[in-house]
Amino acid sequence: MFAVADQVNHGIKEYSSAHSPQLQIELAKLNGMAGARAVKRSDFVTACSYWNSALSLLPTEHWKSHYDLSLQLSFLYAQSANSCGDVEKAQSTIQEILVECHSIEDKLPAYYLQAASKCQHLMHLISFFSFSANHWSTFSIQFCIPVTKVWMHTILAATPCFNWARLYHNH
């Protein structure tokens, strides 16, 4: 499947969407299937590439003409971008989903991914500061605000999006 999708994507640059809009949709679906297969292999970078290709093959007004496909591909792209650590791509795609979706049921997975993405980003920051608080003298790093256990507890207590108490006690 990857070889077919790669070959099609390589040749699509010379192909004009004006020739066959229906073929463009079928090629977008092919890229969607390749992206799904890449996720099964935990290859989120490759999945992102396929879903990005799929989205680029959709017509300009794809949210109106191909709503379900647009929602599916956009959400999967946002998930993979988030898994790759590309928070900007994930968040911008989530914002597009939230603007274009018709119902709260369609928006809920995007809201969940948005919250999870922000919490994941915050966890990385807290882990960095936790590591820094324990090792800053080793690396001769000095912070303007001393990172103490009290400071960390304050940050953790003010962040309700995750079970921070469990994370905090594990460090």
> Residues 3-17: pLDDT tens digits?
777 777 766 755 655
Answer whether 137's CB lies under 8 Å from 121's CB. Answer: no
Residue linked to tokens 């003409």: 65
Tens-place pLDDT, residues 71-123: 999 999 999 999 888 888 999 999 999 999 999 999 999 999 998 877 766 66
Q: From 24, 99, 108, 107, select the one nearest 66 (Cα to Cα).
A: 24
CA distance 7 to 48: 17
* Long-range CB pairs of 144-152, under 8 A, 24+ apart, other chains included: 152/126
pTM of structure = 0.69
The lowest-confidence range among 45-59, 63-77, 81-95, 119-133 is: 119-133
For residue 55, pLDDT over 60 is answered with: yes
Confidence label for 162 from pLDDT (cuts 50, 70 and 90): very low
In this predicted structure, what is the pLDDT of residue 13?
59
In this predicted structure, what is the pLDDT of residue 87?
85
For residue 137, pLDDT over 70 is answered with: no
Mean pLDDT of 46-53: 93
Residue linked to tokens 């912070």: 143
Please give the C-alpha separations between residue 136 and each of 33, 48, 124, 163, in angstroms, as whole numbers. Answer: 47, 36, 17, 26
**Which CATH number applies to 1-102: 1.20.1740, 1.25.40, 1.10.287, 1.10.3470?**
1.25.40
Please give the C-alpha separations between residue 5 and each of 13, 57, 112, 136, 163, in angstroms, as whole numbers. Answer: 13, 13, 30, 48, 41
Higher pLDDT: 136 or 104? It is: 104
In this predicted structure, what is the pLDDT of residue 140?
45
